[in-house]
Structure 1
């Protein structure tokens, strides 16, 4: 299926212009916890407000690995990035709404990656809070993924260790108004830069979500960014792979107002 021609699931139109990067994301665990809206609101930059489901904010930890990284470096030409083309990544994220356009997207507190080139490139081109990390991933015969991450060069311990796997039974695309749709079907990200909020648009097919099981043994990411997790098990989802296209950042302006809707 041609990903770029499949648009009916999007909450708003594709952005103008050509995509800047393409990636494939693999073996993703979505682990989410509800957080009080007031606690999350204090952590967002001006111009963004908490996007909520059932009256609560949500924070997610998402380990995965990526490959098939390509960039449109000059004009129409696409270039594969071999030295940063396959590496682990670990995200700490929440969900926010633009006070300017109403767009709903992902706000990242941190993105740990095992590629120095990816960290430098993302900080430079996309102004995202990437951190270099020592990361290890191993898949057992039964599909269980052993995943470890330790942030480097920051002077403090920020570690993550978990075992997880998908349980099969890929469902139909999640329906609007459901929690899984709210947590995963996002088609832009926000990042602050120079006193402004920038938006980066992305495109992919609907997430092929599976039920998941996980044992999270160490999770120091939320505390490192001022987030206290509730004392109960997270909501879990798993996806085996997804091809993603990413556009260059632009100022968050009213050119994209077809923001779609999520259950609140």
Structure 2
């Protein structure tokens, strides 16, 4: 059952390959690491969440704000594939509270500045949520070339074409489904001035270079959580 609609805009997916063991020890018991060419991935994803609203409501009623998350890629014993979030920092006090309550996701309050200059996006975030590790992120990113749909079997498809996320709460594993069109994707450039997202989540910064992908965005409907 659909519960929310939203527009994800100016999305950067910066994905670092890591040994699967780095990820495996951090996952709930019933989730397994999903790999591409024997590598797990940790993705840093800054973007703008626009027009967040109850399903069926007009866009004009919904707020817009920046969001920054760290995620990895998982599968379940029955073959389901999805995303597992380590953190989702957002510049919206009410939205953070609702997301933590309704979706049991690790949302944290942050103060963010997102400035668009043509195709370039300056994205700055500082966590202000009490009782958790600090997290600062400051970077500029932009697309390189025109967007197109990801090819079948490509790394881009592995990273982006996922329509479920998993979260653990109250000793229960939950799955949330989302609906949207296939992603329009372009290569990207990234200039990072500060990135504490790995340290804040207990990881060392990966040694390899990141795979960079940009999308102008998709329109999304999200469903209620269900038990796995």
Is TM > 0.5 for Structure 1 vs Structure 2?
Answer: yes
The ranges of structure 1 where at least 4 consecutive aligned residues each deviate by more than 3 angstroms after the TM superposition are: 77-82
1:49-128 matches, within 5 Å, as 49-72=32-55, 78=57, 82=61, 85-99=63-77, 101-128=78-105
Residue 245 of structure 1: how far off its partner (Å)? 0.8
Query: Alignment partner of 2:145: what SS?
Result: coil
State the distance in 1 between where 2:217 and 2:193 align.
Answer: 24
Q: Which residue of 2 aligns with 1:194?
A: 170
Q: Please, what is the CA RMSD of the aligned residues?
A: 1.5
The structure 2 residue matched to 1:149, chosen from 107, 112, 125, is 125
Aligned pairs for 1:113-262 (under 5 A) are 113-141=90-118, 143-154=119-130, 156-171=133-148, 173-252=149-228
Q: TM-score, normalised by structure 1?
A: 0.82
* Deviation digits for residues 166-222 of structure 1 (CA, Å, limit 9, x no counterpart): 123112x21232101000000100000111210001111110001110111211111
TM-score normalised by structure 2 residue count: 0.95
Separation in 1, partners of 2:46, 2:128: 17
Q: Is the 8 A contact 1:209 1:238 kept in 2?
A: yes
Q: What stretches of structure 1 of length at least 5 have no aligned partner? A: 1-17, 253-264
Q: Extract unaligned runs of 5+ from structure 2.
A: none
When you count strand as a share of all residues, which structure comes out higher?
2
Matches of 1:69 and 1:237, distance apart in 2: 24
CA deviations on 1:82-129 (whole Å, 9 max, x unpaired) are 4x6110001110001112x32100000000000001100000000000
Is the contact between residue 17 and residue 208 of structure 2 (CA under 8 Å) also seen in structure 1?
no
Whether the aligned pair in 2 keeps the contact of 1:187 and 1:202 (CA below 8 Å) is yes
For residue 185 of structure 2, give the secondary structure of its aligned residue in structure 1: coil
Q: CA deviation at 1:227?
A: 1.6
Once the two structures are TM-superposed, the CA of residue 161 in structure 1 deviates from its matched residue by: 0.6
Conserved? CA contact 1:71–1:81, under 8 Å: no
Q: Aligned partners of 1:232 and 1:182: how far apart in 2?
A: 18
